[in-house]
Structure 1
Amino acid sequence: MTDWAIDTQKLTKHYGDVVAVQDLDLQVTQGEIFGFLGPNGAGKTTTIRTLLDQIRPTSGAATILGRDVHRDALEIRRLIGYVPGDLALYPRLTGKETLQYFARLRGGVEQSYIDELAERLKADLSRKVGDYSTGNRQKIGLIQAFMHSPALLVLDEPTAGLDPLIQQEFHAMLEEVRDEGRTVFLSSHSLSQVERVADRVGIIREGRLVVVEGVDDLKRKAIRRIDFEFADPIPSGTFTGVAGVHEASVERRHATVSFEGPVNDILRAAMAHEVLNLNSRESDLEEVFLTYYRDAVSPGGNQEGKVSDVH
């Protein structure tokens, strides 16, 4: 049996002349939380729908837990929990009736575990789904995905409408899944959500996977910033030509330096003057994300990273 929870080889999906996903080579290890990042229209949802055999690829192949996503689709459905980005539920059923329906489809699920998940997510199961807010509907979607303890959770924008306290509990649930050796594939455009829980992230842009790395490794590559306060005004060119500096803004006794790589040369340049204070701003995943989407304008006048209508 393969160690990959998800394995794709040149997975491609076109809609006529529109490229939704192109030559996607992606491996997700069993027992990790993998963040799949990109703005709306980058190809995240199309990738998920192709993996779950909801749509057929134009070319390429994929496996989930060592099983072919088309040939073994029924068996795969028994092994996964899924929250779609466009979650739709029966409006006339209560939350409890909805979960009982899904439990019967699963061949039976412990009601006590359903109740435990409902308590953790503060979900009121007595009301009709049609009366729920977006966040409360999302809670039902999460419960049905978690309630049978699947080997793989595929979650497409799972925190939509959830308040911050419930999001914290959701993150704890994801970490418990990982600690049990199970896998989470978390697709989102919310960088802060992914950064908090993911072991690795993949960034998809216009249907192409542009990077896959550990969160900490990516953050180390991001442009960082240092704010300096000096005792006296310093020359405007103090940081010009210093290794690693991308941009430096100097205004009398204050300077902000954007850089990547080691900080030694920057500190040496600063210490030629009397430094009263400095503050290093930690890079986050959003900086990395913007780095991969901040491209020059193409000849046609559009941003190369412009979001299309294909999800």
Structure 2
Amino acid sequence: MNVIDIKNLTKTYGKSRGIDGVTLSVKKGEIYGFIGPNGAGKSTTIKVLLNLIFPTSGEAKIFRLDCVTDTTKIKEDLGYVPSEVRYYDDVKVGEIINYAKTFKKNIDEEYVEHLIKTFDVDLNKKIFELSLGNKKKVALIQAFIHKPKLLILDEPTNGLDPLVQQKLFTELVALKNSGSTIFLSSHNLTEVEEFCDRVAIIKEGKIIEVKNIEEFANKKVKRITLKLSQNLSEEVKALGGEILEFKDNILLFNYNGDINKLLSLLVKYPVEDLIIEEKKLSEVFMAYYEMEGK
């Protein structure tokens, strides 16, 4: 069963592009990553899902319900954390959490206490006394409070220290294991790599790739540093290598071909040094960012 279904979704702002023909689906019980450069269309997509803006064309559904006509019903089982958290300055943290409870059914008070203790928030402090990170922790508790069937998180780790980030993902995995679905928009490619089941990459308003994380990992791209007196760039390119640089007799390239063919080439030359590293998944994703602004 799909929790989110988006088909040919387009949003334009006059002559300006928002998103263009976005199509994706998110399965029940998965953590789904949504990444792309600034201005790619991530926030626009999320705002349509939340019915904060109306689509120009196409459709978006959550729980098989239309995001425009059924938004009230959808939000009963949805939690949301924006990238930038804003509250009234004079409101106390406890008042915000208690107010959030009034919008949801069947609140588990023990779970709420668990969240307050886990994220270590002071219920008596007013918002103006809180740092950016502590405001984000309040927003997380507010979103988690009813154990939502779907969590939509827009840059949730912004402002959080590493320990709190770890606690956040512990809670997310626990929710996933209990059947919740998480839609995670993030610039932190390491957390996408570690926690997401699938990922969609959006650029210039269009989805350019949707893959299982395992599929990216199985590409087994290696970064190779080769020191020798001759420039083997053309020979390496012929084997499918991606040349990054040749400088001071050091050839740097990415390679995901047959390693035996590469070794057969290298034994013909006096190699001074050879370093073979597994290329991180985050580096694979970075290829989609490199043309930003060009």
Q: Note whether the superposition's TM-score is higher than 0.5.
A: yes
Counterpart Cα distance in 2 of 1:79 and 1:260: 43
Matched, 1:245 2:249: no
CA-to-aligned-CA distance 1:121-150 (integer Å, 9 cap, x gap): 222222111110000000000011111011
Per the alignment, residue 108 of structure 2 pairs with 110
Q: What is the 5 A alignment of 1:97-176?
A: 97-107=95-105, 109-176=107-174
Structure-2 change in CA distance of 1:24 and 1:141 (3 Å): same
| Whole-angstrom CA distance in 2 between matches of 1:223 and 1:211 | 17
Q: Distance in 2 between matches of 1:125 and 1:267?
A: 62
**TM superposition shift of 1:250:** 6.8
Look up the SS of the partner of 2:288 in the other structure.
Answer: helix
Is the CA contact 2:28–2:180 (under 8 Å) kept in the aligned structure 1? yes
Distance of 1:90 and 1:68 partners within structure 2: 31
> CA separation in 2, counterparts of 1:120 and 1:250?
50
Q: Distance in 1 between matches of 2:49 and 2:279?
A: 33
Partner of 1:300: none
Aligned-partner SS, 1:24: strand
Q: Deviation at 1:192?
A: 1.8
Using the alignment, how far apart are the partners of 1:209 and 1:131 within structure 2?
A: 40
String of CA shifts for 1:170-210, please: whole Å, max 9, x gaps: 11111112212210000112212222211111011111111
1:1-311 aligned within 5 A: 3-107=1-105, 109-221=107-219, 223-228=221-226, 233-237=228-232, 240-241=235-236, 242-247=238-243, 249=246, 251=248, 255-272=251-268, 278-295=274-291, 305-306=292-293
Q: Which range moved further: 11-20 or 84-93?
A: 84-93
**TM-score if structure 2 supplies the norm length?**
0.91
Deviates more, 1:214-223 or 1:87-96: 214-223
In the comparison of the two structures, how many residue pairs are matched? 292
Return 5+ residue gaps in structure 2 as ranges: none
Matched residue, 1:299: none
- Paired letter, 2:45: T
Alpha-carbon separation, structure 1, partners of 2:220 and 2:51: 36
- Aligned equivalents of 2:118, 2:210: Cα separation in 1: 32
User: Hey, what does 1:302 align to over in structure 2?
Assistant: none
The CA RMSD measured in Å over matched residues stands at: 2.3
Q: TM-score, normalised by structure 1?
A: 0.86
Alignment check: 8 A CA contact 2:221 2:278 kept: no
Q: What code does the residue aligned with 2:246 have?
A: S
CA contact 2:233–2:251 (8 Å) conserved in 1: no
Give SS of 1:105's match. Answer: coil
Q: Distance in 1 between matches of 2:247 and 2:293?
A: 33
* Contact kept in structure 2, 1:222 and 1:288, CA below 8 Å: no
For the structure 1 residues 277 and 165, does the alpha-carbon distance in structure 2 shift closer, same or farther, using more than 3 Å as the test?
A: farther
